[in-house]
Amino acid sequence: MYKHVVITGGAGFVGSNLVHEMAKRFPEADLTVVDDFRSGYFKNLEGFKGDVIAGDLAQIDLKHYFGGGRKVDLVFHLASITDTTDHNQFRQTHDNVESWRNILNYFEGRKTRLVYASSAATYGIAAGVNKVDQDPKPANVYAFSKVQLDNLARRWARENPSQIVVGLRYFNVYGPREAHKGAASSMILQLAQQIRRGQPPRIFKHGEQIRDFVYVKDIVNCTILAAKARKSGIYNAGSGVPRSFNDIVANLNRVLNTQWQPEYIDNPHAHYQPHTEADLTETTRALRYTPKFTLEKGIDDYAASGFLV
């Protein structure tokens, strides 16, 4: 189906999982990864046989690599500064937005399909079910930059009705190949690491806050399905079933064969979200996406992979 696919951010967490799955599903496709390795990790691409371009997407000359009649069928744009604690407004906004602008400008009129990673962070700190038609309320500059990606995508789609561009608002993704993110990795991995070190898992009082935790294999499947969309749009990408931090600890105890009780600590964040949940109505309708991993199945698969350490 695809002759040449470009995956930006392919050395990162979700990106590398996407790279390996694309290689598995489309073994004849020519896959090119573009990554500046600021938030990626070379070991995530172990076994990858395609091309790797190390470059800053905000500055890179895309014509140099993809010109000369070399057609690109599909671009998955996952490259981003993903550290939400990086509050440098210029760096976050410039790097994230200008990288996307560079891609949109270059592939305009080339019939290349574009799928990009937006974020549930665009919804801000409002609690409850998140629907794609909500007004964005970014609470940090990372989320603000993702709102700008969505704005650019909508305008580009209006100006290029014959091309497809799809944005996916990823929720709380967890799974293999995230350990390099350190403190920015999922709470599922961080709590598992605490247990492995012989420490009680530390969560905010009293662990009943709920999040839309979504396993990376579901996110990868949703991302691949988005490439087949019949029209441009922006969709939620989550599990649709929020679960509590107490549920996480219980399931980690189960797969790690431990019996740790959580250490409940005070929450220092005045605007901490008690509830996030992806409304998947439009995602299911437009992309035919149905999550396959419950929290239990996701943690089971994560533990079986050998990466939950």
Q: Which of 41, 123, 142, 215 is catalytic?
A: 142
Q: Closest Cα partner for 151 from 75, 100, 225, 114?
A: 100
Q: Interior CA angle at 238 toward 104 and 178, to 5°?
A: 80
Q: Does the annotation mark 181 as catalytic?
A: yes
Q: Which of 181, 215, 217, 289 is catalytic?
A: 181
Taking the C-alpha atoms of residue 107 and residue 78, their distance in angstroms, rounded to an integer, is 16
Provide the angle, in degrees to the nearest 10, between the axes of the packed helices 245-256 and 295-305: 40
Cis peptide before 77 (omega within 30 of 0): no
Cβ atoms 132, 279 nearer than 8 A? yes
Helices (H), ranges, the chain: 13-25, 62-66, 89-107, 141-159, 187-196, 216-226, 245-256, 281-287, 295-305
Q: Give me the residues paired with residue 173 across strands.
A: 214
Q: Does the annotation mark 137 as catalytic?
A: no
Three-class secondary structure of residue 135 per DSSP:
coil
DSSP strand pairing (172-174 vs 243-244): unpaired
Kindly tell me the burial class for residue 239, based on how many C-beta atoms sit within 10 Å of its own C-beta (0-12, 13-18, 19 or more). buried
What positions carry a catalytic annotation?
142, 181
